[in-house]
Amino acid sequence: MEPTGLQALEVLISEHEIAKRVDEMAARITATIDCSEAMAVVALKGALILAADLVRRLPALRAIDFVQARSYGHGTESSGEVRILRDVEMLLTGLDVLLIDDILDTGLTSARLKSHLESQGARAVHLVTLLDKPSRRRVEVQPLITGFTVPDLFVVGYGMDFAERYRDLPYIAVLNPGEEHA
């Protein structure tokens, strides 16, 4: 029996499906970008697990750095305001940047991060995202590659959270906020 107070979850994308798709994403990236002239910038905290799995499949990346932005807080709806909480530490000048993010939703966070990294001298910023919710888009953003397109549901797992919970799940699940486990 699971602890009380946890929200009811329904598996949307299995651990096996994710692993297979991450392999495909890595193959597409290496066919498109010279990894020896690129670095990964991981959007914390949600993309950490995707990035760990993905960068191990990318040969000779120059470096890995991290950026953190917030638009959700502890709710399930984006506030619309994107704040950068942690900036990259490395110089991006003249490099291709793989911006690894967990989910492309409204596009506000991805667009803000892409613009921010370009302003720091990146030659190009290529968005790589595990999930895409095109029905929620408010800003046009074109990813280099997306793992899965998902409907307008609040999802958790594989790094994504609800109030800092569920990041450790090895799969993607739909959060049903009105229901709790028995």
- Which CATH number fits the domain that encloses residue 128? 3.40.50.2020
110 residue type, one letter: S
Count the alpha carbons within 13 Å of 52 in the hemisphere toward its beta carbon: 8
**Which pLDDT does position 75 carry in this prediction?**
53
Is 156 a member of any domain?
Answer: no
Is 66 a member of any domain?
Answer: yes
Number of separate domains in the chain: 1
Is 99 a member of any domain?
Answer: yes
Is 23 a member of any domain?
Answer: yes
**Per-residue pLDDT tens digits for 140-181:** 999 999 999 999 999 999 999 998 999 999 999 998 866 554
**Per-residue pLDDT tens digits for 60-89:** 899 999 999 987 555 555 567 888 999 999
**Which pLDDT does position 59 carry in this prediction?**
87
**Per-residue pLDDT tens digits for 1-45:** 343 455 689 999 999 999 999 999 999 999 999 999 999 999 999
CA 82/CA 96 separation, integer angstroms: 23
CA 47/CA 61 separation, integer angstroms: 17
The residues, any chain, with a CB within 8 Å of residue 119's CB and separated by 6 or more, are: none
Is 79 a member of any domain?
Answer: yes
Give residue 35's domain range: 15-150
Is 10 a member of any domain?
Answer: no
CA 99/CA 49 separation, integer angstroms: 14
Is 158 a member of any domain?
Answer: no
The residues, any chain, with a CB within 8 Å of residue 182's CB and separated by 6 or more, are: 1, 4
pLDDT at 130 over 60: yes
Catalytic residue positions, numbered = 105
Give the gyration radius of the chain's Cα atoms: 16
Is 6 a member of any domain?
Answer: no
CA 7/CA 100 separation, integer angstroms: 27
| Global pTM value | 0.88
**Per-residue pLDDT tens digits for 89-102:** 998 999 999 999 99
